[in-house]
Structure 1
Amino acid sequence: MTLRVHWSLTGVSIMSDGWQDVRHRSLINFLVNNSSGTVFLKCVDASEHVKDAKLLFRLLDEVVEEVGEELVVQVITDNTSNYRAAGLMLMEKRKHLYWTPCAAHCLDLMLEKIGELPQHKNALIKAKKVSNYIYNHSWVLSLMRQFTNRELIRPAATRFATAYLTLQSIYQLRQSLEAMVTSEKWTKSNYASKADGKEVRKIILKDNNFWPSLIYAIKTTRPLVKVLRLVDGGKEPAMGFLYNAMDEAKEKIAKNLGGEEKDYKEIWEIIDEKWNFQMHRHLHAAAYYLNPRCHYSPDFSTHPEIKLGLFHCLDKLIPNRDDMEKADLQCSAFHSREGFFGLAQAKNTVYKRTPVKWWTQYGDETPELQKFAVKVLGLTCSSSGCERNWSSFNQVHTKRRNRLTTTRMNALVYILYNKKLKDRRLKLKSLRNDEDSLLIDELPSDDEGLVGENDEDAPHLCVDDFNVDVFEGEPSQATQTQPISSSSKKASASAKGSSKGNEKLMLIDEDEWEDIDYDGGSGNKDDEPIDYNDFSDEVSL
């Protein structure tokens, strides 16, 4: 049974994002997601027009029409001004769907903003110097692998918040890095006598600010990375968990900083700004209310915005007024655990079933509310599947094979990427609780790595020898400004089976660091000391 069969039962999310290929064509991907998985729909060549809100609206509207308006619950894109305006125009025309910004993109913007704080900037700059140096020198990289038995970072599999995931990895490997730069192999090598090698060694061994600032940065961002793992990992639909997860993240940050408001206030203000003005939507509140894990928790919030979100979604997503009123009345039975909701099985399996499966099993006595809950709780919060799709395009459309038409490329990518999506779903199902869902992918990064082209010691590799393409000047998700056109071809049949990639070239994603300038500390003795309020104790990772 294909995923499309489930669309009429669960409703779908349309996911969209743009990118630019090696021929500088502006392309826009469209994917369809529901609680059963994600399907790549098509790619549009958008190279001939200015990328404004009206044209984006027209493209999104055409895709909604193609999929079926009655099936679409939300359209999810990044939160740039043109997409936001197009989303509002789409909601004005299509009265029974929502436009929502990508939660992973908003979380990434939070982390970038937090990264501008002096304490974080100090850690990020110096961590970049260390990782840059190691990955730009093949001998040093080989030596590091001997001491660590793992990669310093895995950006090809993480996509968002690479910088802070790198900080965590560097902290976990602190002893190995210290052992490396004090080893006989290092001290007898030419790298130990060069200026940049000495600077990296000094950061690792003697910089009194680096490790305390790194620990502080981890303590204040790890709860947000956990939320990112929830929305971007894809293990189960995240809509029902996002509202509560953001509250828990703020409380955890405050606890990590000792509970003193003066210590966490600045970070809370950054989080609240992005949440209130960019990220939060009625769907998040409604899904929180309908999630049995949250609703039946002693800590369930009774904030008025939660019921406001519920009522708004009931009115918008249930066109039939009689059905909407029935669903509204049935909320009382759900809240009071009447009928099936009060059965011992229903209580015992709240944490053993996903919210969608729980409602499917125990919501039969409230059919109108059940249908509504399954639609809302099965929604994704992230359009990051579109970014994973860039990697599939890059394998089809390489620097050596760059004359494919958009139509033919669409057909090839349709097969390749849907095979990868199926393989990813199988991996997620088999994932253990202690495994990181952000790190299950082995898809290559679309951004140029830190294997420096001008470094005489850098490995000179042909990109076609690997299951990866390395591009120069690839725009990031937050800065897409390319023109739009609507010429495309709808791909045909869905493909089955799993695919095995060739060897992957592990690259460092510089886009996550691009807003960090180099005016901060460099590990020199004359760096101004930073007060970290005694947050230099050990971090449990």
Structure 2
Amino acid sequence: MEAVGQFGPGFKPPTQYQLKEPILKVEVERTKQLLKNNEEEWVKNGCSIMIDAWSDRKRRSILNLCVNCKEGTTFLESKESSYEAHTSRHIFEYVDKCVEQVGSQNVVQIVTDNATNNMAAAKLMKEKRPRIFWSSCAAHTINLKLESIGELPKYKKSLIEKKSSLRAMFTSELWETCKWAKTNKGKLAYSTIMSMSFWNGVTLCLKIFAPLVRVLRLVDGDRKPSMGFLYGELLQAKKDIKVALNNVESNYQPIVVIIKSKTKDRLDTSLHTTAFVLNPYFYYKDGSIALYEEVATGIFECIEVLHSNEFELQDTIINKEFAKYRDKSGLFGKALAAKACEDNDDAFDPLALRILSLTTSSSGCERNWSAFEGIHTKKRNRLDVNRLNNLIFVQFNARLLNKQKREKERNVDVLLAKDASNAQSWIVDGGEEDEVEPGSGLTWQIVDEATGADENIQLRKSSRVRELHEDDFASDEEDDHNEDIEFVSDEEQVVENYGEDEVDQ
């Protein structure tokens, strides 16, 4: 109504036919034109196909397909498959059709979560298209790491937000007159809540989770290609965790075991290790990383996949082109080149190669559930498949384009290894619209206590001009309670008793 009022008197709404046929077709074509830069990037530096399967609040099973490149994420199509089994063959055929649509020569990798059917589909894809990688979603994998660490006895705490309230309760007159205050359990609870060592332990928990959450924000943020940073940031996260635990092996070893087990064959493939060494942000700081066994092996394996059956081209890339970079000869050896690689901010853009233009996460596919549910309601459940896909194509891509615009306007740097305070605030808050900035009005005690941050680091809502969002038009009929999100467990064994026994590496 606000938008209509701004238009002024004399407005004549389009007819139902105009909305669902000619106007929709025009909007689809307009959206395609807006995405031309993305499609050109697919051809220039390659792209990733991301697929995500989920069930909405009405138990409808949806498959989402998106394409990601250096320019951002593009929604390709959705498919409701409530009456089809998500077998490996079904997933493979659906993704393969998308590969044909995008152009097999443009697709470098396919990104999915770690579900068994997806991994089986990867084998089928490898047989048909050996030049395309199939990668595990980094966001999903890191979530599994955090979930497993959270199951360790020492880290089953979620009390830091309630610290002030708990301490106030145990020092109140009500507690002194309470019958539980005289019991052994009551006295034990009182001594625990008032113990500084207990709260130091809770603070330590945040310090342990923060490095991994920082990496999670990196891969889930969709602000810049993350393939070149994931492996190196995971290495840094392990170092930060060891430092947080005073480098005591018996303390950090169970966590390292979890990180390694969840990383193996998922986030340490030849694609990840090659991107790691090709990123000068890491290589110019420590040239010895090229000698790591997994990195050296990964480079050969990666080039063999990207250019299979092209021996002369493989020889040129590895023995000539990569050798110049490895030895920092020619332009790579200039002091200006090293200076340009010092800071990992949004202005830093590593080598414009197909590998370093890749994403590591399929999170972008998960963000159109509201678009699907907003269109396919009980009142509008007779939409034909083509019109439904067109509506979602227009709405979801409009949101992606607007999100990318807002992110650029906000100009918030990708989290670096030292930015633990921001990562810890994100653990608690979880909102995309909130940023920790100096000079704002509400002190965030968690950041101060967990990291010793300056007292001026505070929280505020981002100020911006009022915009109309999809949430403003929520239907009462669709206003169901959100269901809890469950991460798929891969049933791997984790260390159950923290610190009781040392675990061999």
Tell me the TM-score normalised to structure 1 length.
0.65
Deviation at 1:299, TM superposition (A): 6.5
Residue of structure 1 equivalent to 2:312: 322
For the pair 1:375 / 2:354, whether they are aligned, the reply is yes
Deviation at 1:357, TM superposition (A): 4.1
Shift of 1:406: 4.1
Name the larger-Rg structure.
2
Deviations 1:350-389 (A, max 9, x none): 23787984434xxxxxxxxxxxxx1000110110111122
1:57 paired with 2:46, answer no
Aligned to 1:359: 351
316-325 vs 63-72, which moves further: 316-325
The one-character-per-residue Cα deviations of 1:72-102 (angstroms, maximum 9, x if unpaired) are 0000000011101111211121010100000
Report how many residues are paired: 395
Asked whether the 8 Å contact 1:289–1:307 carries over to 2, the reply is no
Cα separation, 1, equivalents of 2:392 and 2:347: 32
Match status 1:284 vs 2:267: no
Map of 1:80 onto structure 2: 115
Residue identity in the other structure for 1:384: S
**Deviations 1:279-327 (Å, cap 9, x if unpaired)?**
3211110001110111111364221110111111111112443332211
Which structure 1 residue ranges, 4+ long, deviate > 6 Å from structure 2? Answer: 178-184, 202-205, 352-356, 530-533
Gap runs ≥5 in structure 1:
128-166, 188-198, 361-373, 444-460, 481-529, 534-541
| Contact 2:251/2:499, CA 8 A, preserved across alignment | no
CA–CA distance in 2 between the matches of 1:264 and 1:349? 35
> In the alignment, what sits opposite 1:94?
129
1:469–1:38: structure 2 CA closer, same or farther, 3 Å change rule? Answer: farther
Amino acid at match of 1:337: K
**Larger RCO, structures 1/2 (Cα 8 Å, 6+ apart):** 1
1:307 aligns to 2:296 (yes or no): yes
Partner of 1:25: 60
Whole-Å separation in 2 of the counterparts to 1:326 and 1:48: 50
Say whether residues 1:333 and 2:324 are aligned partners. Answer: yes
CA contact (8 A) 1:282 1:312 kept: yes
1:103 equivalenced with 2:82 (yes/no): no
Tell me the residue number matched to 2:333.
Answer: 342
Are 2:405 and 1:414 aligned?
A: no
Question: Given residue 418 of structure 1, which amino acid in structure 2 is its aligned partner?
Answer: N
Residues 490-522 of structure 1, C-alpha deviations (whole Å, 9 max, x = no match): xxxxxxxxxxxxxxxxxxxxxxxxxxxxxxxxx
TM-score for the superposition, normalised by structure 2: 0.69
CA distance in 2, matches of 1:62, 1:203: 62
1:253 aligns with 2:247: no
After the TM superposition, which residues 391-406 of structure 1 pair with which residues of structure 2 at under 5 Å, given as runs? 391-398=370-377, 402=381, 404-406=383-385
**Contact 1:15 1:32 survives alignment (8 Å):** yes
1:521 maps to none
**Contact 1:178–1:204 (CA<8 Å) still a contact in 2?**
no
Q: Does 1:390 align with 2:377?
A: no
Residue 423 of structure 1 and its aligned partner are, at CA, apart by 1.8
**Matches of 1:261 and 1:37 in 2, distance apart?**
41
- Say whether the 8 Å CA contact 2:50–2:66 is kept in structure 1: yes
User: Alignment identity in percent?
Assistant: 32
Query: Matches of 2:191 and 2:138 in 1, distance apart?
Result: 35
**TM-fit CA distance, 1:340:** 2.3
**Structure 2 CA distance for aligned equivalents of residues 412 and 309 of structure 1:** 42
Residues 223-273 of structure 1, C-alpha deviations (whole Å, 9 max, x = no match): 111111111122221111111111111111111011110111111111111
Distance, in Å, in 2 between the alignment partners of 1:238 and 1:325 is 27
CA distance in 1, matches of 2:378, 2:192: 42
**Rounded Cα–Cα distance in structure 2 between residues aligned with 1:256 and 1:353:** 25
